[in-house]
Amino acid sequence: MGGESTGKVGKLGIPTRFWAWLWLGIAAVYLFLPLVAMVWASIRSPTGIRLDAYGEVLRAPRFLETFGFSTQAAIITILISAALVVPTAYWVDLKLPRLRPLVEFLTVVPLVIPPLLMTFGLIRLFNNTPLTNSNQGLYIMMLGAYVIISFPFMYRAVDAGMQAVNLRVLTEAAQSLGASWITVLTQVVVPNLLVAILNGSFVTFAMILGEFTISSLLNQPAFSPYMLDLSSRRGDQATALGVISIALTWGSISLLQLVGRKQTFKG
């Protein structure tokens, strides 16, 4: 990084750059062609381009139901996740820095333990309890699993935000003015971490909208299982729905990157 650049690098410049463009091209074809094909499949018809599938699918009552269901689940998940992660990360940062690796490790575990196994364990652990015997119980179990899979993203975002502002100093300043812990948390910590929490929220939202494994195994009327179900009956509509879902998830993540960039410019 710190090394001074000399003219030598240019010696192999032309062939290097050619290979670089070539591999970029190969990767771009692999990553974009399926998306192009999908958009094309959603609008083609024997008579030309038609957007009918989009209109039909957006008007379908099941779409609104499942989409509303997943949106609601995502919002509840985000609230629970933030309520657990923000105080925990703050507390670790302030009081228990030695436990930091442990907490970090625990929040990353859901990245490697597949949701499938987590759900399997959950359903067997709570077998024949109200959690598995009623639909509300299954819904709560799903929310619990959602919160767990949101931890890696929420924690990383909040932790990064916390490193950017010196919360220790802010906390001491607030406390020396006589603020209570609750005041510190709501008036100092949360406002300073708002952008970070939003970051984590956008990723969580996108992830839960596309989530299939947990909701389908727990028999919940979520968006992704509906999409798969639709594909066996109306392929064109399902494909249009797939395009919409990609646009929504990628849009929300791009929004996040935009917000994050603004934040770094300000700082």
- Which residues ranging from 221 to 250 are in contact with other proteins (CB under 8 A)? 224, 227-228, 231, 238-239, 242-243, 245-246, 249-250
161 binds other proteins per the rule CB under 8 A: no
Nearest approach, Cβ of residue 88 and other proteins (Å)? 4
Nearest approach, Cβ of residue 243 and other proteins (Å)? 8
Q: Which of residues 190-209 bind other proteins (CB under 8 A)?
A: 206-207
124 binds other proteins per the rule CB under 8 A: yes
Contacts of 69 (CB under 8 A, 6+ apart): 220, 221, 222, 223
Q: Contacting other proteins (CB under 8 A), which of 56, 58, 110, 136? A: 110
Nearest approach, Cβ of residue 72 and other proteins (Å)? 19
Tell me the two tokens of residue 134.
Answer: 């009623």
Q: Contacting other proteins (CB under 8 A), which of 212, 221, 234, 263? A: 212
Nearest approach, Cβ of residue 71 and other proteins (Å)? 17
Q: Which stretch binds other proteins (CB under 8 A): 56-64, 69-77, 189-197, 220-228?
A: 220-228
Cβ atoms of residues 199 and 256 within 8 Å: yes
Amino acid at 200: G
Tell me the two tokens of residue 234.
Answer: 């109306």
Q: Contacting other proteins (CB under 8 A), which of 62, 133, 172, 259? A: 172
Nearest approach, Cβ of residue 125 and other proteins (Å)? 5
116 binds other proteins per the rule CB under 8 A: yes
Which segments within the chain are labelled E, that is strand?
Answer: 44-45, 48-49
Angle made by CA atoms 76, 123, 208, in degrees to the nearest 5: 30
Closest CA to 223 of 83, 74, 86: 74
Site string for other proteins, 130-159 (x = CB under 8 A): --------------xx-xx--x--------
Residue 52 gets the label, from left (phi > 0), alpha (psi -120 to 50) or beta, of: alpha
Q: Which of residues 30-89 bind other proteins (CB under 8 A)?
A: 30-31, 33-38, 40-42, 84-85, 87-88
State the SS3 of 223-236. Answer: HHHHHHHHHHHCHH
How far is it, in rounded angstroms, from Cα 76 to Cα 90? 21
Residues touching other proteins, count (CB under 8 A): 87
CB atoms under 10 Å from CB of 64, counted, come to 11
How far is it, in rounded angstroms, from Cα 40 to Cα 57? 16
Using CB atoms within 10 A of its CB, is residue 94 exposed (0-12), middle (13-18) or buried (19+)? middle
Nearest approach, Cβ of residue 35 and other proteins (Å)? 6
Q: Which stretch binds other proteins (CB under 8 A): 47-55, 58-66, 157-165, 170-178?
A: 170-178
Nearest approach, Cβ of residue 155 and other proteins (Å)? 10
